[in-house]
Chains A and B, each alone.
Chain A
Amino acid sequence: MSDFAIQTFDLSKKYKLKKGGYVQALNKVNISIKEGEIFGLLGPNGAGKTTLVEILTTLLQPTSGYAEILGYNVLKQANKIKNKLGLMLGHEIIYYRLTGKDNLKFFARIYNIKNFNKKIVELATIFGIENWLEEYVEKYSRGMKLKLALCRVLLIEPEILFLDEPLLGLDPNTIKQMIDILLDLNQTILITSHQMHVIQQVCDRVAFLNKGNVIKVDTQENFQKLMRETIYIRIELPLEHLNKLKQELSTLDYIIEFLDEKRGGIIHMNSKNNYPDLLHLLSTYPITKIQEVEPTLGDIFIELSKI
């Protein structure tokens, strides 16, 4: 038996377009996820995250390559892994016209879960939706739907959890609560998101996916290091001083680029070590506003593509 819970081997998926040609959703993706590891898939919309999850959960067939879950081939031995997988696709896979309890009962019976009534109440209590179980799901808020979706996945007691954008659109308190629950599970989890802070708090390792390609797979520590090293500072100043500042910045080797904005711009630098030096330079200008900006996913991709 392999040490890896999930492994992909040159996994590729092409979608045929109506107007002709193809979209390469996945391009020879090779990733290995150990048992008990929380693995993050980070990428912008259309990066291929959901396609990868759908192939790994037997929903889609790859164009080429293959994948193994707990040593079983996803294509040829799908029946052996189906009761080991739990899939949460945002707040999908919920019947909105049924009550929360009917939804959970339905899936518990499909997965042949014993004593499911007790487990449903336990899980709903953990997620704080126990008073809503008898209500129709269409009355639920977005956060409650996500909680119900996660209840559904946990109810079937899977060995591997696939969570596709599980915390999108939730308020910070709920996100924190959900993250705590995920961390307590001690299970193999593949989580996809384009919310960096979520991935940052939950995952042991992270893969960056863009246009179907894995740009980089790294540990959380290295990922955070990269985040720390990528610094963006937004400044505002009277525009007549802007050209002179830009000229001075272009002579500094630690400045990567200057991005123009309406009232100033964003300075992109590669290390915090040169922070004092930059602040000294800026103090000679009539700066009206200065603020450090968290790098966006796109910024991280730009950084990674340079590696």
Chain B
Amino acid sequence: MFKANDLKLNIKQILAISEKELKLHLRYGFKFALRYIKPLVSIFIPYIILAKIFSLSEAFYFDYYTEYNFLLFLLIAYCINYMFGILDLYKETFRREKIWQTLKGLIIAPFNRFNLIVGLLITELIIIIPTVAIFIMICYILFPIPLISLLHFCSIFLAIIIIFMGIGVLIGVIDIVNEDISNLLSYSAKFISWLSCVTYPLKLFPRILQFFIRLNPFYYIFDLLKLSWWAGIDPIDAYKYISWQHYFVLFTMAIGIPIIALCSFERIYNRYGITGY
């Protein structure tokens, strides 16, 4: 039977986890600041390269990337790159708590294990959202779109956060059982994400790579995110590139991955009790 007190206690515990995590993050300010700088670096070089290419001729375009809008896609790419931190969030936290032996304190507490996942995600969102919001505002100032298009963009963004969280939990759970495999998975996830045209347009890649990129589900969700903004500016052009596959991949991943991750978390938690490594 659901009780209001239970909800209150769960919220208290989630907030306690978030506050604790934030304090741990803020303990080392420079390391924390680097999280903001790293994604900037990741779009700086692509900006120089794309600016040079487009300056060669006004007639150049690669799919929906043109001289006039490539900056918009790079700003969105910054937001995506910044979210990649979620992929390693649970792995790093579980590993740290395992080494510090502090997770035992939570396991024996009258504590819903899912509060840990939610608490960690909230911390990450508190860190991510202000920066992402600033970049979205810059995009909005430079490339204004109707409010409905902005909401469409934000919903897709939220779905991507959920997908990243699911993958992050999955990697974190595997890390409890086998650190080696989780390192491999973590790297693979980053590699697959990299091979998904976050910053560069698909047409810029060699044909053989384009084939592999088209097999990559991340390509479709990042493509959809970028195109959802472009659809607010030039819907006719944008909907030439948006297909049902984009939405299908997004919904399947946003629903499937968190379910698989949470089931795995529950199973591993019960079987190994986190300490079973």
Within 8 A of B (CB), among A90-110: 92-98, 102, 106-107, 109-110
**Contact A109 B12, beta carbon cutoff 8 Å:** yes
Query: Quick one: given A110-B16, A112-B12, are A96 and B110 in contact (CB under 8 Å)?
Result: no
**Distance between Cα atoms of A224 and B12 in the complex (Å):** 48
**Contact B104 A59, beta carbon cutoff 8 Å:** yes
> Measured between C-beta atoms, what is the minimum distance from A48 to chain B in Å?
16
User: Is A54 in the interface zone, CB < 8 Å from B?
Assistant: yes
Q: What chain A residues lie within 8 Å of B23 (beta carbons)? A: 98, 102
**Distance between Cα atoms of A24 and B275 in the complex (Å):** 18
Of listed B106, B107, B273, residue having the most chain A CB within 10 A: B107
Nearest A-chain residue to B276, judged by Cβ: A60
Q: What chain A residues lie within 8 Å of B20 (beta carbons)? A: 95, 98, 102, 106
Q: What chain A residues lie within 8 Å of B107 (beta carbons)? A: 58-59
Nearest B-chain residue to A102, judged by Cβ: B23
User: Is A25 in the interface zone, CB < 8 Å from B?
Assistant: no
**Distance between Cα atoms of A102 and B110 in the complex (Å):** 19
> Measured between C-beta atoms, what is the minimum distance from A50 to chain B in Å?
11
**Distance between Cα atoms of A92 and B102 in the complex (Å):** 7
- CB < 8 Å neighbour of A61 from B13, B16, B273: B273
Query: Quick one: given A59-B107, A106-B16, are A93 and B102 in contact (CB under 8 Å)?
Result: yes
**Contact A95 B102, beta carbon cutoff 8 Å:** yes
Q: What chain A residues lie within 8 Å of B13 (beta carbons)? A: 109-110
Interface residue tally on B, bucketed by range = 20 to 34
User: Is B37 in the interface zone, CB < 8 Å from A?
Assistant: no
Q: Which of A77-85, A169-177, A181-189 contacts B (4 or more CB under 8 A)?
A: A77-85
User: Is B148 in the interface zone, CB < 8 Å from A?
Assistant: no
User: Is B108 in the interface zone, CB < 8 Å from A?
Assistant: yes
**Contact B108 A87, beta carbon cutoff 8 Å:** yes
**Contact B110 A82, beta carbon cutoff 8 Å:** yes
User: Is B111 in the interface zone, CB < 8 Å from A?
Assistant: yes
User: Is B151 in the interface zone, CB < 8 Å from A?
Assistant: no
**Distance between Cα atoms of A98 and B100 in the complex (Å):** 12
**Contact B104 A79, beta carbon cutoff 8 Å:** no
**Contact A110 B111, beta carbon cutoff 8 Å:** yes
Within 8 A of A (CB), among B20-42: 20, 23-24, 27
Within 8 A of B (CB), among A108-142: 109-112
**Contact B275 A54, beta carbon cutoff 8 Å:** yes
User: Is A57 in the interface zone, CB < 8 Å from B?
Assistant: yes
> Measured between C-beta atoms, what is the minimum distance from B211 to chain A in Å?
42
Q: What chain B residues lie within 8 Å of A106 (beta carbons)? A: 16, 19-20
User: Is A89 in the interface zone, CB < 8 Å from B?
Assistant: yes
**Contact A82 B109, beta carbon cutoff 8 Å:** yes
| B107-138 Cβ-contact flags toward A at 8 Å (1 or 0) | 11111000000000000000000000000000
> Measured between C-beta atoms, what is the minimum distance from A201 to chain B in Å?
27
User: Is B209 in the interface zone, CB < 8 Å from A?
Assistant: no
Within 8 A of B (CB), among A35-93: 54, 57-61, 79, 82-83, 85, 87, 89, 92-93
| B39-76 Cβ-contact flags toward A at 8 Å (1 or 0) | 00000000000000000000000000000000000000
Q: What chain A residues lie within 8 Å of B106 (beta carbons)? A: 110
User: Is B243 in the interface zone, CB < 8 Å from A?
Assistant: no
Q: What chain B residues lie within 8 Å of A98 (beta carbons)? A: 20, 23-24, 27
**Distance between Cα atoms of A102 and B108 in the complex (Å):** 19
User: Is B101 in the interface zone, CB < 8 Å from A?
Assistant: yes
Nearest B-chain residue to A136, judged by Cβ: B27
> Measured between C-beta atoms, what is the minimum distance from B127 to chain A in Å?
17
**Contact A89 B110, beta carbon cutoff 8 Å:** no
**Distance between Cα atoms of A92 and B9 in the complex (Å):** 25
**Distance between Cα atoms of A138 and B64 in the complex (Å):** 54
Nearest B-chain residue to A152, judged by Cβ: B105
Q: What chain B residues lie within 8 Å of A107 (beta carbons)? A: 105, 109
**Contact B110 A93, beta carbon cutoff 8 Å:** no
| B210-249 Cβ-contact flags toward A at 8 Å (1 or 0) | 0000000000000000000000000000000000000000
Q: What chain A residues lie within 8 Å of B108 (beta carbons)? A: 57-59, 82, 85, 87
- Can you list 17 pairs linking A and B with CB atoms under 8 Å apart? A60-B275, A60-B276, A82-B109, A87-B105, A92-B100, A92-B102, A92-B104, A93-B101, A98-B20, A106-B19, A109-B13, A109-B15, A109-B16, A110-B109, A110-B111, A112-B9, A112-B110
Q: Considering the complex of A and B, which 4 residue pairs feature the smallest CB-CB distances, nearest first?
A: A109-B16, A93-B105, A92-B101, A83-B110
Known contacts A54-B275, A82-B110, A111-B109; 7 further A-B pairs (Cβ under 8 A): A82-B111, A92-B100, A92-B104, A93-B102, A98-B23, A98-B24, A102-B20
A-side interface residues toward B, CB under 8 Å? 54, 57-61, 79, 82-83, 85, 87, 89, 92-98, 102, 106-107, 109-112, 152
B-side interface residues toward A, CB under 8 Å? 9, 12-13, 15-16, 19-20, 23-24, 27, 100-102, 104-111, 273, 275-276
